[in-house]
Structure 1
């Protein structure tokens, strides 16, 4: 306890760090306030978007912090920017001109950011138009008659696009002048906003059960803590590959001649495989629901609309493993790493520089990705098992899946930055032994968007 109090005192005594934390908290409050401001032309008393809590829309609503189901000015949240960022990231891998732009340093990064913002506007305008159609179909009476028709569509598209761009600006300000990755923190805050209500509801329901209901609730909390510990190990897990650097004489100084380590992440793909797998699993039920609503709730298709069924979880787990390898292959380039090591006179002991080094790094990455993929698949299906055990569905979503993985990863990233600020000023870190390694360390840097 004394160590914690001393660490907090050290954090508060650093003026720059204190300002960054206060600015981050202030911008988060602005975001949460805006998530409750209803769109113009909507009567909140007649609004009913119960369907927004399920399926793909439920995932969207979770990332938006409940703004989607409340029809707020931040209803689309930060997700259009995330989609645009992922698209640009894939373009830098697949398109040579974008790959060249990425290697141009700061000027190339600015160009990519400009293209990302432009693509964000296009994606947001398209999603805003779809959201207007969704409002009209699900909660038409909530739209005030004077705002109906073309004017409501135009005003809503403009407001939602402006809201997403403002949230994007908030995220960039948190990243530049605050603490942590702003985009990730905004998503995390939206997810965490549902936790208190979920805890209260679960506690109330278990208390009303009687006959050991409170004991069951305590066991659920213990199980949740165990899962969080396992996720911390998964996020921070690395395989250290020894790298030697040849001695060089630069001026009157000797450079190199030391052994360092290349940290390869066990879970280099981050949360992206789970998001991709969830999106794929929602497609069959959604298509069938549009074409033949009666068949979506019976037989084979019911298994793909109910995430507690064994078939759903098996297929979902396999998809997570497949997408883990797929996304890791996209963001991890062993050839580039081998070339950079060769350029800096670095080599792995016993391995020839160049292609042999790239093959060696790739083989290690393939081996450590397998247990990482299986662990990620287990994390993905845990909410389904929790719901099958009669745990409240909202609270069950915190037992794994996208929600918990994002929360753990973002908290580790933020704590890592705070610890770096403390160590830079010759204070002790947040831990008495070892150092915090967030998702952005090592090969995980490519997935720091989420």
Structure 2
């Protein structure tokens, strides 16, 4: 039995001191279908994977469209900019529009954007299509919010962990599948095949996902108010800002590695194929394990410890990553540590921020993921420029800097008790 109930800060129905409308408390007597969370995990993984297809293909796409090494990161960055726009403009609709119609509609439009990317005749068309892919891939976050809203609080961490584990798996398989399919049938086949898979998932999700919204029936709620209140929520609650800043730094480090690693791996002394470069992402499969484990730890009240350990591992991961030019085994070890750390912190963040205002789950997760997207874009662009300027050592320094900054931020705020966020540490 899942409870959906609004909360108010200081006895007020809004955020930031305003008298904003709040959703009525209600209890759902019908449990969601058993297959719902696994299906959402699969759909989330497939959707988020579309954002990462370009990473093992960057060198090939650069050659095909005559882009220099310093511009390769633009392919990742433009996708992340689209993703950031979608997080702010589309994800909040989950608190207003019927979730089944919203999810299936966005999946259908995502399939069209993937089709456009696969058929792009030039660099400008490809970049525009990739921005559209990023914009619509945020459907994954709408599904995360739906899974959290449909799950009782006592099991919410595990549900979020399962769905996020699907996202992690999708990111990892995206690189492997894109690399293998590009070697077999060319880079265009990657996007065309994904378009077909997305259509099939849209049909399956429509059959399983219950209709409704987390804040259905809330009076005075409009689209403009939803978008504005997303910003207001983060102004009102320090926990959201701190966890968002951690997400920005953590995913900047994540993107620094995975946006640049194709360049040293494709050249001497390794000269790996698309398939080998893509399959290298599987070394980070520990991230999926971390997502599920972090969900269980959060349900046990260990969010603070999970965050600290995760950030320490993230900083340490750059020691073996720095040896990529000498040893592929060192890169594999570093990738395992980095992906494990990133996903442990990510799941912890999402579980904590959803509890701040459960009735505004879609808006909060959407706003939080704007920080994620900004960090991913920053890491991609910074890594490309660093590699073009001073090679892999500069990339390693950049990733280490992001990681240490995140660890220092956590250390400085770990004992803070933000007003309006309830008792307990961050």
Q: Please tell me the TM-score bracket, short chain as reference.
A: 0.3 to 0.5
TM-score calculated relative to the size of structure 1? 0.33
